[in-house]
Structure 1
Amino acid sequence: MKTSDTQRRLRRYKTKRDFHLTPEPSPDAVAPKAGAPVFVIHKHDATRLHYDLRLEIGGVLVSWAIPKGPSHDPAVKRLAVQTEDHPRSYADFEGHIPDDQYGGGDSLLWESGTFEVVPPGDAAAQLKRGHLEVVLHGAKLKGRWHLIRTRPRGGKAQWLFFKAKDAYASADYDVTVERPESVKSGQVETRGPRKPGVLRNKRPAAPVRAAPRARIPKTVRKPSKAARPPSSPEKLLERVWPPMLARLAVSDEVHDETHAYEVKYDGFRAVCAVTNGKIAFQSRRGNDLSGRFARLAASLRQLPAHDVVVDGEIVALDEKGRSRFQLLQHTEEGTEQRFVVFDLLWLDGEDLRELPYEQRRARLEKLMASVELPLQLSDKLDLNLSRALLEARRKGWEGIIAKRKDSPYTGTRSGDWLKLKVVAGQEVVILGYLPIKNERAKSEIGALRVGVRGKDGFHDVGKVGTGYTSADRRELRWLLDATRVKKPSAVDAPANTDTVWVKPKYVAQVNFTEWTKDGRLRHPVFQGLRSDKVPKEVVREHPAPIEGAARRGSRRAPVQASARTATTKAPAAKKTPRAKSGRSPEVALTHGDRVLFPDSGLTKADVFAYYEQVAPLLLPVLADRPLAHQQWPAGIQAPGFFRHELSGIPAWLPTLRVRHEDKTLRHVNVKDTSALLWLANQSALTLHMWLSHAPRLAQPDFVVFDLDPGEGGWKDVVRVATLLHARLDELGLKSFPKTSGKRGLHVLVPLAPGHTYARTQAFADARARELEEELGDIATTERSIRERCGRLYIDAGQNARGKTVVAPYSLRAVEGAPFSAPVEWSEVNGRLDPHRFRLETLKKRLDAVGDLFAPVLRVKQVLPDE
């Protein structure tokens, strides 16, 4: 297509945007790219969160907005509204579009790859006809997909986007939940445009990534020196606005290899731009600070640069040199104020935000080498995480900031910057508020009444009257008035109070000095709202040592314990060659009191103790076997993550390097108890195992049948399993059942070495077809849920290389913490309730029947010729 035609097609894109304000690429210079056409999907948090599909056709990216995102279930057809064409350069775009601009909000590069049309030919012609069949080659989306135009809607063409029936289709896999991260930066959280009166952290985060993530390598865009800086510092600040924010986190999400640590200062966030000696000095909310902090502003004018933007914290120091926010509220004579600079966004015509943190930090250190107080470079801690946290506690800091070394500066609250606190803190549920007792009584709160969740409901833990700005008080009043109720939600709510009760919908973070004997917070101070927590998760946190401190006494955390930290030493006989010292590696349980199963109150400590108890049974099964993991770092009611390879694997932990279809991954090798407990500490509740083990990964150890019940429930499972058992007996094969841990049943046929995956798959398919022929009224091999018509699904598809099955004794992310329980064939009847096998009943089960999976590992049998 001619350039003039391309520019014509991009006219709508260009007229909707001001490229002096938005970071989106201008279409003025369109550079065609050789090779296969690309496709991308942007996760766009604008007026509402949606997904923008873009296909490179005719020199532009033809675009559709998909409100609910793609689905791997062929039966689910997603609405896709065609929008304006985008330039080819948009395929690499990721960033925050200013709130007042078209499409304002975060736009993450959620997926990218190449595609081809089916049958091969002119994609433009298929687009014109209104039916595109494409094969996608992406990181998350693969195989054939359909785009079919249905009818126009409000001037925009309305299409349907859905998965074709192929090997990549899956009715049970929600890719937007399992893979929420950007393929460019790894960022998960998004922020849409702010509305007046709404707290900045009101919007819930997208699924939070709890463990350190594996990043897809990216090419860093070099800053352009051709860009002329705006004429005024205010315009320059607009160019790089808004500031990047850190997310409150736990140490599980941080690793020394991927993160650098800085002191967390307790002050007032500010960003400063200087051009030609003129200054714009603004707070996080855009308020001018140059008058209030005139001395700091005068020092910032002396920065050795023609034009520069720095990000930092205004602090006031106490007599011990510690930053204290309260000292900034009431400035007293002699109080020392400083501006601590921790990032460099712009320098002499260069926009540095796309550079990795380490490069920006190096440039900043060079810039700040000659400056004098009251300007100060933020302190970087060249320590490992445990020592950094200990140093923070020893010196009385609020905590530390962990920054990903390879992260760009993004104008959003990002998981690339994590706050790790060491002061006493507690999440609380907002149960109500007391109006302020002055002329602002109708527009502001005076204090929050807060609570935590107990076994019988929410319990009042006191009032929080300090820590607010006036804006906070107004915004909280606006937010809470929309949820007013007549009766309190707390089971022990005080009577005769002026409290205005609200629905227990919002969670706040407070700092405090201690718990009183009657279970109240002493001197609580409001810190902000927590969008990464839900009220059911909020329980009282008990004081405990910080990460890395060893638990005294028993090395085992009892199931009923709620501890923030415990350590378990790996048995000396099972040391790995990776250990760098003569001591056994230790596994630290961190934040053990975090509730993972809200309804039953089971915590991370309970899960940790469970896996320690079951380790002798699991290790013979899992050793040298590649694993995939399902993690729920924020509990089972929050989104979970499915991982083959985990980031932040410690050096002592044994691993297996395994070649997958298109890449090589490093799997945790559970050869000893410490490896299993490391996974438990990563909130890896469910363990999925390969059917083969190293060094014979091409030779499966089992044939597996997965019976997934339909509308007939457990009685259909029993009927199908009984017939399958009989058929296998007729072939002279022993088989062993185990519950799936949810509603279904797994039937395993152990094998002698020498079988291939092709042979086991063929054998399983043949048995599944036989069952379908005889029990077609209640069972089917049809993968599509719609085509099953309520029948039980006989899944033989797990008998392929790289496919997995839930390991015996593995927990499932279901309330009550059920596990996949090996059972006797005599137990597979209508009276069996799979949910009775739970974390809390494991000991009773083992006392009664012992380890029923042990015989499976001893049986070696050969499949009959067919």
Structure 2
Amino acid sequence: MKSPRSLRTYRAKRDFQKTSEPEPGAEAPRGPGEPPIFVVHKHDATRLHYDLRLEIDGALASWALPKGPSFDPKTKRLAVETEDHPLAYAGFEGRIPEGEYGGGDSLLWDRGTYETVPPGEAHAQRQKGHLTVQLHGEKLKGRWHLIRTKPRGKKAQWLCFKAVDGEENPDYDVTAEHPESVKSGRRATRGPVRKAARKQGPLPVEQLLQRVWPPMLAQLSVPEQADDATHLYEVKYDGFRALAALSSGTLTLDSRNGNDLAARFPQIAEALRGLRVTEAVLDGEIVALDAEGRSRFQLLQQGSGAEQRFVAFDLLWLDGEDLRQRPLEARRELLEQLLAGVKPPIQLSERLELPGDKALAEARRRGWEGLIAKRKGSAYVGSRSGDWLKLKVQAGQEAVILGYLPIKNERAKEEIGALLVGVHGPDGYHDVGKVGTGFTSKTRRELRALLDRQRVKAPAAVDAKARAGAVWVKPKYVAQLQFTEWTSDGRLRHPVFQGLRTDKKPEEVVREKPQATAKASRSSGSRRAPTALAARSTRAAAPKAPPAEDTGMARLTHGDRVLFPEDGFTKQDVFDYYREAAPLLLPVLANRPLAVQQWPAGIQAPGFFRHELSGMPGWLPTLRVKHEEKTLRHVNVQNVDALLWLANQSALTLHVWSSHAPKLAQPDWVVFDLDPGKGGWEDLLTVARLLREKLEALGLESLPKTSGKRGLHVLVPLAPGHTYAQTQRFSERIAAELEAELGSIATTERSISKRRGRLYLDVGQNGRGKTVVAPYSLRAIAGAPFSAPLKWSEVTRKLDPLRFNLKTLAKRLDAVGDLFAQALQGTQTLE
């Protein structure tokens, strides 16, 4: 298509190797009879203005309106005639580069068709100097006048005003009411870098960071304090808070305490240096993602090789301009523009366009730590502010390590048994309890070596509880914990160790409590002055399971009913056991299809095995799973309430799939079930040892656990990406090798009559839809034993599976911790 001669000026003013504006000739041919188009661009160049463009003679005749259009007929707005633009410019939106003509952001503010009054006279009316146009736009409607006045300087000047046609409205400020782009929805614009900033040059990164320091902190709150009319909801990420300052390719990446994070996270630092910007300060979180894309502090702290990201959620400075006083929405839009097209490890924080209750439900469903509710229109302040609210769906707390209890296992003298922890208060440190779970053997050894160098004679806590064998240390290290609730006497219930925090000082660690925050009126659109609070920030760890809080939805009924007659254990005992085991079970059970065995009349009566339970209440999380013949709705144990509801249904034994949603086709482990025959425990030990040797010869680590009865399960934790076909083939191959070597005592024969008293090598649980008894699940036999994860050093003649039972869980965890945690962090691959 040949370009009109009127576009020569447009072409001469632009370098199309630098600007993304369309070059003349790029427009598609217009069809015969199509009505002429008009557009309005919101253009932030030397100053913010609005460019009105009308299709006339094959191009877009253009006028710049410094104050934009008005629906008040008495308000006549200046319209400076500029060069014609190509028709392809009607779809343009973007940033014109610095130093180029018209440099700055240009948004497509309005678009539509028009006709002159009378029709077909656009060329003649333009020549005459009086255009009367009927606009059919998304924002501008009705009749408008453009009248040329006496020229001032080189550019022709016109007046633009609304005609009296019934569409006028003196009280309607269209640019204020509708600042957004009709193409992208963006509202905020950024002009070119100011000349003064270009003259003085970019600031050194250290000075740049100091200009916007300190970071803004969120206040722990409750959902009722946020309002859908006044707040926006974002995902709360669980990692290291980090501010990134960029200046001419140099970078400073600091934690909220000013510690350098660039050396620790070199890939993230390199990616940030590659951002196309002269000066910028981004606020965000450095996180490590699990297989489902959820941030998990444990993975970040352990340096486990998990995928790391810098998740940016705010923009404080950009090319010489301090953005902190701009409204929240404007900063977000500029951040989105800056990060448009970037790839991991940099990403934009996820915003939920949902009402608060549904956003929280989504956070629970997806296993996030919680949400941040941010007040619309709020500025960025360097303090803790009620304009940012932390809404947690998981309970978490940072705690100062005040000491430890040595492990009771004689074979592991170099390990800790439990940490003694506290928080800081006005009069010093206060004891908040002990933490005995969440550790691996390696972590227990490393903590013992670390803490032994800090030993002191007396505890630092002003209210330290007397504990036999306690070793006290200097309050130097901060631990990240997950827990279920605070007890009435100020202790942590069911705390689980997540890792050490190197970005927090011990004296900053206080008990975090929800604060009351004044709620804005639903009708109020004004900005609210931020409130600074004295409390310090803490962040909870994000385990694989969603929330661990008990909201009281699950109720115990008939708690005195005896379920284990020989032992006298009641339904209340089972309910209490599963409440105690919840921090261990939730990471295993969440999003995993579940089958249960129920004994409502006690274990002496017949039980029931069910995938889908009747009478499930509306609040209970469920998981719809397609089986071979039908789709079933499984209980999804995403929180304590779901687990306790099962306990109240007398669901004593819990069986789980080897995979979890949303990747139900990818098993998390290979499982071998060793079911003893007449040879008993002695034969089982022989088979188990050879199985372990074969796995180790392939470079594979394995985890044994008791079945809860008389057998042994051996699991091989896997990295994501395996299929059930792979695990089935692998397990069958290994089982066949074991049978070939130990055929006199072990067999893969399923028929009991054909086993002839030999141990059964069962690998059938490796198929899709097959289940294995969950770790820590009770079994319906006398003594109420549970399926106990083991160390291989415990698999000896002395091992008695029945000693791990309903009454000994706490003792077991004090001794060895949660040994099953490693099975949820598999990194191994099969051949």
TM interval, short-chain normalised:
0.3 to 0.5
The TM-score with structure 1 as length reference comes to 0.33
